[in-house]
Chain A
């Protein structure tokens, strides 16, 4: 008995030299062979007999190595997640050339795969973003879209449990209006890994028997509930891709920017912030040589005040670098530009050479590159560079005067 036990211990110790490895979240790698062998020790006539190992078909050959392992291979459990890293709309501007929506793709299955990238366009979009490209977050600052990130069309050889940031980058047309929105979903489709370049698309051998000794494909979450529980493992291969529902169907996962898995929410993509500028130009006769400033008429010698108002509507994005150009050159035969503004309302009367009033401040002629509300009115061309930014709801008022010839 004692001897027998010792023998058994020695044997089992040898067989168990294979210490259990740390399991990954996605589980044992596909293609791993699971080998099992049992051993019997016994006595006949109270005499210990040589041990016998098992085999798949039945073995009675004695001794270590007399049997054979019963084996099967772990199949490919295709499972992956895409998370949106945009909690809210990404603010963008008309004409922006490269605006990024951030996603993280994680291979949660047990096999490396390539993932082909594409997108789904939101049904309620009010503008169409152009030049959609995808970038892998592999350059510059980790976690932010940089010029040195690599443009890709697919993720090559995405290992298990390695969250990888992918940017969907698009351009906003210059015609986009304030408040316009466009939602986009990142769509990833599982392809075979194993070589550089995009491998063949991964399809579940649904309803097909396992090929013994080879790695078959099982889609772990085809009912797209985010959990592997209760899935029918591809027996029903009829699920089609929905453009409005987050989730994974037959190796495809669709995730809306700003969405959450399974929400069916078109989510939050780009939101355009634009300035809403209106320009108004009015004229009023200030004085004439006969009536003075009382009920003046537009007769030769009369002084006419032009008022240009640039207004950014409430809610409009602040506008910067606003310049206003108004050319009187075509009218120079009929009017002269007044180089000293006077309409009786400016608190401190403009002195000679101050021909333009910007927001109530008299301005001299700054030839060349006016800045900060300065004006250049050389050769009957009015050119004003507004200072700072013109916020939503704010306006800029420019006044100048001409004398009718």
Chain B
């Protein structure tokens, strides 16, 4: 509690905000959705570049890269960091595309009730038959950081998914 209070206080002071209606946490989270497009540069060489999905043409079948940037903006080291990202509706996870915070990347096929490593996930089909889950079955992705995120430290996690 003390810790939290200090963190909040420190944040308030740092930001020098006269009135802070909402509580600020010690970690800032920023999420982006991007697509890769191929453009030709001045020399006529094709280069792959990432653009904001909101300002790119995205149609079914296209792959979108979701990246979550995390930063410890608090006054203290943070531990036990767990980032959860439900797979957006209409998106299919692309197997093996989750990056960052390895090796603790787990998935859920039951809307976040349980998480497990990709190789251990099983799912029941309509007939009640159990089978290994595939990437298309994933509903959630979870990254669990091993160790400590020091004050001021930052990083990112990402995954790719295809528009249904």
Contact indicator B74/A35 (Cβ below 8 Å)? no
Contact status of A34 and B89, CB under 8 A, knowing A16-B111, A16-B140, A44-B7: yes
List residues of B (1-43) whose CB comes within 8 Å of A's CBs. 1, 3-4, 7, 11, 22-33
Contact indicator B149/A42 (Cβ below 8 Å)? yes
- Residues of chain A within 8 A (CB-CB) of B82 are 4, 8, 40-42
- Residues of chain B within 8 A (CB-CB) of A218 are 57, 59
- Any chain B CB within 8 A of the CB of A9? yes
- Residues of chain B within 8 A (CB-CB) of A77 are 59-61
- Residues of chain A within 8 A (CB-CB) of B26 are 42, 44, 49, 60
Contact indicator A39/B83 (Cβ below 8 Å)? yes
Contact indicator B84/A39 (Cβ below 8 Å)? yes
- Any chain B CB within 8 A of the CB of A353? no
Contact indicator A76/B59 (Cβ below 8 Å)? yes
What total of chain A residues lie within 8 Å of the partner, measured CB to CB? 71
- Any chain B CB within 8 A of the CB of A28? yes
Contact indicator A42/B81 (Cβ below 8 Å)? yes
- Any chain B CB within 8 A of the CB of A380? no
- Any chain A CB within 8 A of the CB of B134? no
Contact indicator B57/A72 (Cβ below 8 Å)? no
Contact indicator A44/B74 (Cβ below 8 Å)? yes
A212-B111 Cα distance, complex, nearest whole Å: 30
Contact indicator B24/A16 (Cβ below 8 Å)? no
Q: Whole-angstrom distance from the CB of A21 to the nearest CB of chain B?
A: 7
Contact indicator B85/A60 (Cβ below 8 Å)? no
Query: Given B23, B32, B111, B113, which contacts A61 in the complex, CB threshold below 8 Å?
Result: B23
Contact indicator A47/B3 (Cβ below 8 Å)? yes
Contact indicator A12/B55 (Cβ below 8 Å)? no
Q: Whole-angstrom distance from the CB of A309 to the nearest CB of chain B?
A: 69
Contact indicator B61/A228 (Cβ below 8 Å)? yes
- Any chain A CB within 8 A of the CB of B99? no
**Which residue of chain A is the closest to B22 with respect to CB atoms?**
A61
Per-residue B-contact encoding for A208-230, CB less than 8 Å = 1, 0 else: 01101100101010000000100
Contact indicator A50/B23 (Cβ below 8 Å)? yes
**Which residue of chain B is the closest to A110 with respect to CB atoms?**
B60
| Stretch from A51-59, A124-132, A300-308 contacting the other chain | A51-59
Interface size class of B (residues with CB under 8 A): 35 or more
**Which residue of chain B is the closest to A26 with respect to CB atoms?**
B60
List residues of B (40-65) whose CB comes within 8 Å of A's CBs. 52-61, 64
**Looking at chain B's contact residues, is the secondary structure mostly helix, strand, loop, or mixed?**
strand
- Any chain A CB within 8 A of the CB of B163? yes
Contact indicator A16/B58 (Cβ below 8 Å)? no
Contact indicator B90/A56 (Cβ below 8 Å)? no
- Any chain A CB within 8 A of the CB of B133? no
- Residues of chain B within 8 A (CB-CB) of A56 are 30-32
Query: Given B52, B61, B74, B149, which contacts A27 in the complex, CB threshold below 8 Å?
Result: B61
Contact indicator B57/A233 (Cβ below 8 Å)? yes
Contact indicator A16/B139 (Cβ below 8 Å)? yes
- Residues of chain A within 8 A (CB-CB) of B76 are 44-45
List residues of B (91-126) whose CB comes within 8 Å of A's CBs. 91, 108, 111-113
- Any chain A CB within 8 A of the CB of B77? yes
Contact indicator A38/B55 (Cβ below 8 Å)? no
Contact indicator B84/A12 (Cβ below 8 Å)? yes
- Residues of chain A within 8 A (CB-CB) of B112 are 8-9, 11-13, 15-16
Query: Given A60, A213, A216, which contacts B29 in the complex, CB threshold below 8 Å?
Result: A60
- Residues of chain B within 8 A (CB-CB) of A58 are 28-30, 69, 71
- Any chain B CB within 8 A of the CB of A323? no
Contact status of A27 and B164, CB under 8 A, knowing A12-B84, A40-B29: yes
Q: List 9 A-B contacts (CB under 8 A).
A: A38-B29, A38-B31, A42-B27, A58-B71, A59-B28, A60-B27, A66-B22, A70-B66, A228-B61
Chain A residues packing against B (C-beta within 8 Å): 1, 4, 8-9, 11-13, 15-21, 23, 26-28, 30, 32, 34-63, 66-67, 70-77, 110, 205, 209-210, 212-213, 216, 218, 220, 228, 233
Chain B residues packing against A (C-beta within 8 Å): 1, 3-4, 7, 11, 22-33, 52-61, 64, 66, 68-71, 73-74, 76-86, 88-91, 108, 111-113, 139-140, 142, 149, 157, 163-164
Contacts beyond the supplied A23-B60, A34-B90: 17 A-B pairs with Cβ under 8 Å = A8-B82, A8-B142, A9-B113, A15-B86, A18-B89, A27-B59, A27-B60, A28-B60, A38-B84, A40-B29, A42-B82, A44-B4, A57-B30, A60-B27, A60-B29, A74-B59, A210-B55
